Amino acid sequence: MEIDEEMRRQTVVSLAAVGLFLASLIGIGVVFDGSGGLPSNGALALVGALAGFVLLMAVIGVFLVRRKDDESDD
């Protein structure tokens, strides 16, 4: 199965977003010292990171679909 350019672009962008999410989880663990349990501020940061990831993936999806539609119109 050959992977076309559009699929490769979608994969790279999605992997970059997942990498950013994982980096934010690690950052939250380091900043709030998650080894002994997460304080309430850390839990809020974790929920915020998760919500931000969901919104980021939605924005990326819309952007990629619109870009694909624009390219097909040309």
**Please, are residues 43 and 67 in contact by the beta-carbon 8 Å criterion?**
no
Round to whole Å and give the CA distance between 35 and 63. 38
What confidence category does residue 73 fall into, taking pLDDT thresholds of 50, 70 and 90?
low
pLDDT tens track for 12-58: 999 999 999 999 999 998 898 867 788 889 999 999 999 999 999 99
Domains of the chain by residue range? 13-73
pLDDT tens track for 9-23: 888 999 999 999 999
Give me the pLDDT at residue 56, please: 94
Which residues 6+ apart lie within 8 Å of 9 measured at CB?
64
Give me the pLDDT at residue 25, please: 93
